[in-house]
Amino acid sequence: MSNTTTLPVKVLIAAAGSGSRCGGDIPKQYQVVAGKPVLRHTLEKFLSLPEIDEIRVIINPEDAEAYHAAVTGVKMAEPIHGGNSRKNSVYNGLKVFSDSQDDFKILIHDAARPFVSPQDIHAVIAALDTHGAVTLAKPVSDTLRHDDNGMVDRNGFWAVQTPQGFRFQTIWSAHQALKDRDDFTDDTALITDQGDAVHMVETSAQNFKITTQDDMAMAEVLLGSGTETFTGQGFDVHAFDDAPAGAVRLCGIDVAHDKKLKGHSDADVAMHALTDAILGAIGAGDIGQHFPPSDDQWKGKDSAYFLQEAVRMVHEKGAKIANMDVTIICEAPKIGPHKEAMRERLSDITGVAVNRINVKATTTEQLGFTGRREGIAAQAIASIRIPMHNDA
């Protein structure tokens, strides 16, 4: 083939699988690692390369909500709905481009491979100047043994990875010719079945596919090493209302008391302090800036909404809340019996594990306005891990 470095480059990210071997309530590509969904980490590797013209993600339509959450803040074309197998899903992705009359290069990559390096992506693209089908791969270095205890000569064996790259007509023709078969585990196998050669591009870095919980733990270590920890603090005060009441709301829990707190919203002083702490850690101002008490739309609003919005802002930065600590300052009501319920409620609202949330209480020894039982104060601290060089 002649030199074709000017050919457009398109990318398909295969993200329609269930990822069941990894466990968890959602597919592995949407599970959060080092503050971001795995899919987001993977996408960012390709989004950073100017020579790539278009990226499309293939998803299970049932995962649409998780997908849109993973790509929040990134301008992406609508996802492509996958099929009942990886091969069928990729076929659906290729079909989107099948009307094109122009030749181009297309890369197919697993969503669960977030460690692919820009150098390896460049190498695959460059190899398509002279080959119709290429794959990133790594020579097998481990000793191989078959189930029948027979030794296998590892020489000449490669562990095939992604991205796999093709001239579009090469892979499209193979998929069309083999559309009635579903016994292929990757796209280079279709090329080989058609009698064509696949060029191996040796990987220069670790590019493992996240498959199990052990892989997920390793990914957390590797991806989390590029984060910085920021800490924010919050403080809030609310006076008691003179009108009789049956409960006061603290950390989203209604605690029996003869007074409630005054406030434009539900006056949850502890949750307001925590919201301010989170906003402070990401440099996003304070609760009054985002939800001013002069705005009637926040009148009587459940403070869980404010906290959820602060958490959403954290996720927009690809960041992750490491821990939260809340101190409630009052003479009454007694907080101790309700601390665990408060921790669980904050966990439900924020998605942060209960063991990373602390709620405690103290008094001012009957000094000051809290000592005179005129109101309640709260302070909070939140630590957040933010990816380095993230200026979003």
Q: How far apart are CA 378 and CA 277, in angstroms?
A: 11
Domain ranges of the chain: 9-224, 227-387
Tokens of residue 178, six digits: 């083999």
What whole-number percentage of the chain has pLDDT above 70? 94
| pLDDT top residue among 317 and 303 | 303
pLDDT tens digits, residue range 213-265?
Answer: 888 888 877 876 667 899 999 999 999 998 888 899 999 999 999 999 998 89
The mean per-residue pLDDT over the stretch 325-354 comes to: 95
CATH class of 9-224: alpha beta
- The pLDDT value given to residue 345: 96
Q: What is the pTM of this model?
A: 0.59
The mean per-residue pLDDT over the stretch 172-184 comes to: 93
Which of 152-161, 200-209, 295-304, 365-374 is the most confident on average?
365-374
Q: How far apart are CA 193 and CA 139, in angstroms?
A: 22
Instruction: Indicate the angle between helix axes 269-281 and 339-350, nearest 10 degrees.
Output: 40
Statement: 227-387 belongs to CATH 3.30.1330.50? yes
For residue 2, is pLDDT > 50?
Answer: no
pLDDT tens digits, residue range 26-37?
Answer: 899 999 888 789
Q: Residues 243, 246, 250, CA angle at the centre, nearest 5°?
A: 100
**Which long-range contacts does 70-73 make (Cβ < 8 Å, 24+ apart)?**
70/29, 70/30, 70/36, 70/37, 70/39, 70/40, 70/43, 71/39, 71/40, 71/43, 72/315, 72/316, 73/316, 73/392
For residue 101, is pLDDT > 90?
Answer: no
Pairing of strands 105-110, 9-15: parallel
For residue 390, is pLDDT > 70?
Answer: no
For residue 197, is pLDDT > 90?
Answer: yes
For residue 1, is pLDDT > 80?
Answer: no
The answer to whether 325 and 361 have CB atoms below 8 angstroms apart is no
